[in-house]
Amino acid sequence: MQIARETLLRSYRAMRTIRDFEERLHVEFATGEIPGFVHLYCGEEASGVGVCANLTDQDTIASTHRGHGHCIAKGVEVAGMMAEIYGRRTGVCQGKGGSMHIADLSRGMLGANGIVGGGPPLICGAALSHKTLKNGAVAVAFYGDGASNEGSTLESLNLATVWRLPAVFVLEDNGYGEATGASYACAGSQKARAEGFGMPYLECDGTDFFAVHQAAGEAIAHARAGNGPAMLHVRLARWYGHFEGDAMTYRASGEVAAARADHDCLTIFRTRVTQAGLLDGTELDDIDSAVRDEIESAVIAAKQAPLPEAADLLADVYVRY
Amino acid sequence: MSKKSFRQAINEALRQEMRRDPRVIVMGEDVAGGHGGTSGTVDAWGGVLGVTKGLLTEFGEDRVLDTPITEASYIGAAAGAAATGLRPVAELMFVDFVGCCLDQIMNQAAKFRYMFGGKARTPLVIRAMFGAGFNAAAQHSQALYPLFTHIPGLKVVVPSSPYEAKGLLIEAIRDDDPVIFLEHKVMYDDEEEVPDEAYTIPFGEANLTREGDDLTIVAFGRMVKLANEAADRLERQGISCTVIDPRTTSPLDTDTILDCVADTGRLVIVDESSPRCNMAADVSALVAEYAFDALKAPIRRVMPPHTPVPFASVLENLYLPSVEKIEAAVKAAMGHRVPEIA
Ligand SMILES: Cc1ncc(C[n+]2csc(CCOP(=O)(O)OP(=O)(O)O)c2C)c(N)n1
Ligand SMILES: [Mg+2]
């Protein structure tokens, strides 16, 4: 499938933005200035971006605790995200949610999620809205290999088929749920799970934007056409610990270095598009430097932004009370 | 006797009970960690905060079970195992995750004995960390002990220090009913003298951490520490307080609370849980019903507002009870004019 030039440029920019955003957070977190838990998406950029390149603002996604990448891929504004992570009033959630709860419903982003397996049921609901309202939109749940074992996830696979929902389940399999390997925790096969619930199963290399874009495109087209849900199994590696501060003693030394060296989605993308003459190296360089500036100013702005005010504590528990 | 952290005290209680009784097993997500990892490291985590570290090495794979991320099934499995001969200690990590497995606790484990006409015993312990103060936001900071206290058939423990944690956890493991054991996540590095040998602290017997004449403070979990700090400050200002740590919210030592209120005539309750239908409400009702005549002033409650736990530090600090808020509530109950603290 031919991918439009703007899509390629936008996707590269999104992947680069996620990378720089996360690498910067890794550095900033170590200074102790960032409160709470932070889970980085480094190394997994092509998945969120490859999937979301097939979506519009009308489509809905639900994310996970490792949500920054999905947010950026779905178009959530970077400065507002950074401010949120710093707990500032200018954050996308006014400093009330933090890293694990970034959401922007105007972008069809139904939220990162602190509860593993929290997203798939919500996505059934979003898909039900789209189906009932006949708006042509689809709903996509990102969930991890760990989350694939939650009852809420498995029940959602069933419900989505029973109700023939325009839902896509994107299983981001980075091989670990916290410090436990997927080979220990996941029984049977994900393919058999999809088939057992009566939905098509697709699989792809999550470090190759083109592979993700292609496979996600098929899964999303299937759902959008009214054929019911599909599962996309994306294989990835995460480059940092489960959360910032995790020493990763459960991973072989060299595992991350090898992923960085041989499976960097940005390098793979650059080689592919320049060799095929789709984009020019200098265009990518320009994006790199623009993103560097954007992240730098997002961090500076976040650090200087005002803190929430006392009255904010009581606001927005309800619409009306 | 030696100085031990809250974390070490819990680890030691688990270790000693596992040595004593081969039916005691531990399960949960990454209670060991490293299974299926590429380094071959066993016991890679020993719990997200290292509380169960070393148990796998000592007791082996049959007694220390890493679970998939699947709370409904492993908490339910722990309940089923408890009803059929084992004495499981299941770790729920953050108590907030009870949303994923409440049925197995509320409709299953809690009710077996009564529903089955007294025939079942369910010696189950569910450990979980709770509480705000970590910027962990709305889904990782709740103080849900009133939720469990509400459910007949469950016992609920909220230890306030390392010493308390060890004795109460051993008691919980030896108890034949399902026990919810809640550890405040901000306290894991708190240290105090803790006996090396095993000991138990009975449920339903409150601890008076200090005795005074003017006013009674009832506080739960980490709030006991704040209440004692406030009482120290108040002492210097000529107000002497009794501080009650009920230790368990179910059973609740109502006698001690009523006796102390009868003696002092004034009551402040410090509760970190959401204010509606919480322990402060429960204790207030108790005192209003049975010690009304002893009261010289309205009961005061120090507790968070009716909101989820916010992320940003400024808001989280406003949200939580504090030494200053307790001090102000005590002075208000003493009839002093005090500026209101948000
Ligand atoms: C219901 C619930 N159980 C446990 C956790 C703790 N937890 C947070 S992330 C995580 C691992 C998730 O693994 P996976 O789904 O593979 O996502 P990954 O971290 O690899 O992106 C766990 C166990 C949680 N947040 N919610
Ligand atoms: Mg994973």
Q: Residue A12 in 3-state DSSP?
A: helix
As a whole-number percent, the residues of chain A with pLDDT over 90 amount to 99
Residue A207 has pLDDT above 70, yes or no: yes
On chain B, the residues whose CB falls within 8 A of the CB of A119 are none
Q: What pLDDT sits at residue A22?
A: 98
Put simply, the chain A residues between 188 and 247 with a CB less than 8 A from any chain B CB are none
As a whole-number percent, the residues of chain B with pLDDT over 90 amount to 98
- With CA atoms as reference, report the closest residue to A9 among A17, A218, B125, A1: A17
Assigned superfamily of A5-304 = Thiamin diphosphate (ThDP)-binding fold, Pyr/PP domains (3.40.50.970)
B75 within ligand 1 shell (Cβ under 6 A)? no
- Quote the CA–CA distance of B58 and B63 in Å, as a whole number: 10
Residue type, A199: M
As a whole-number percent, the residues of chain A with pLDDT over 70 amount to 100
**Do the domains spanning B2-194 and B207-333 agree at the CATH topology level?**
yes
Where do the structural domains in chain B lie, given as residue ranges?
2-194, 207-333
The answer to whether the Cα torsion of B102, B107, B112, B114 is positive or negative is positive
Nearest-atom number in ligand 1 for the CA of A148 is 15
CB contact, 8 Å: A177 with chain B? yes
Tokens of B119: 């025939």
Cβ <8 Å between A176 and B37: yes
On chain B, the residues whose CB falls within 8 A of the CB of A95 are 310-312, 315
Cβ <8 Å between A178 and B39: no
Say which residues have a Cβ less than 8 Å from residue B103's Cβ, sequence separation at least 6.
Answer: B72, B76
Give the CA diameter of chain A: 60
Residue A281 has pLDDT above 70, yes or no: yes
Q: Residue B181 in 3-state DSSP?
A: strand
Strands (E), A131-193: 139-144, 167-173, 176-177, 180-181
A167-173 and A230-235: which strand pairing?
A: parallel
Q: What pLDDT sits at residue B336?
A: 84
ipTM of the complex: 0.97
Q: What pLDDT sits at residue A2?
A: 86
Tokens of B333: 């109950």
- How far does the centroid of ligand 1 lie from the alpha carbon of residue A116, in Å? 5
Cβ <8 Å between B140 and A95: no
A176 within ligand 1 shell (Cβ under 6 A)? yes
- How far does the centroid of ligand 2 lie from the alpha carbon of residue B96, in Å? 20
Question: What does CATH list as the number for B2-194?
Answer: 3.40.50.970
Q: Residue B193 in 3-state DSSP?
A: strand
Mean of pLDDT values over A172-176:
98
Q: Which residue of A has its CA nearest to B313?
A: A87
Say which residues have a Cβ less than 8 Å from residue B264's Cβ, sequence separation at least 6.
Answer: B212, B213, B214, B215, B216, B241, B242
Cβ <8 Å between A114 and B138: yes
A178 within ligand 1 shell (Cβ under 6 A)? yes
- Quote the CA–CA distance of B90 and B124 in Å, as a whole number: 8
Residue B338 has pLDDT above 80, yes or no: no
**Which H or E run includes A303?**
helix A281-304
Q: Which residue of A has its CA nearest to B309?
A: A96
Atom 20 of ligand 1, nearest CA residue: A177
- With CA atoms as reference, report the closest residue to B32 among B16, B12, B54, B49: B54
Tokens of A16: 């680069």
- How far does the centroid of ligand 1 lie from the alpha carbon of residue A133, in Å? 33
pLDDT band of A12, cuts 50, 70, 90: very high
Cβ <8 Å between B37 and A181: yes
A139-144 and A60-62: which strand pairing?
A: parallel
CB B271 within 8 A of CB B302: yes
Where do the structural domains in chain A lie, given as residue ranges?
5-304
CB contact, 8 Å: A306 with chain B? no
DSSP helix, strand, coil percent of chain B (3-state; round to 5): 40, 20, 45
- Quote the CA–CA distance of B297 and B284 in Å, as a whole number: 13
pLDDT band of A136, cuts 50, 70, 90: very high
Residue A287 has pLDDT above 70, yes or no: yes
A116 within ligand 1 shell (Cβ under 6 A)? yes
Structure confidence by residue, pLDDT tens digits, B220-256? 999 999 999 999 999 999 999 999 999 999 999 999 9
DSSP 8-state secondary structure symbol assigned to residue B268: E
Structure confidence by residue, pLDDT tens digits, B279-313? 999 999 999 999 999 999 999 999 999 999 999 99
Q: How far is A99 from chain B (nearest CA, A)?
A: 9
pLDDT band of B342, cuts 50, 70, 90: low
Residue A1 has pLDDT above 70, yes or no: no
Buried b (16+ CB within 10 A) or exposed e, B159-171: bbbbbbbbbbbbb
A100 within ligand 1 shell (Cβ under 6 A)? no
- Quote the CA–CA distance of B165 and B148 in Å, as a whole number: 18
Put simply, the chain A residues between 44 and 103 with a CB less than 8 A from any chain B CB are 87-88, 93, 95-98, 100-101
> Hey, which residues of B are catalytic here?
140
Query: Where do the H-state alpha helices sit in B25-70?
Result: 55-59
Q: What pLDDT sits at residue B337?
A: 75
- Quote the CA–CA distance of A20 and B167 in Å, as a whole number: 49
Cβ <8 Å between A251 and B37: yes
Question: What does CATH list as the number for B207-333?
Answer: 3.40.50.920
- Quote the CA–CA distance of A21 and A15 in Å, as a whole number: 10
Question: What is the overall mean pLDDT for chain A?
Answer: 98
A242 within ligand 1 shell (Cβ under 6 A)? yes
Say which residues have a Cβ less than 8 Å from residue B111's Cβ, sequence separation at least 6.
Answer: B152, B153
Structure confidence by residue, pLDDT tens digits, A66-97? 999 999 999 999 999 999 999 999 999 999 99
Query: Where do the H-state alpha helices sit in B175-312?
Result: 222-236, 254-264, 279-290
Q: What pLDDT sits at residue A11?
A: 98
Residue B341 has pLDDT above 90, yes or no: no
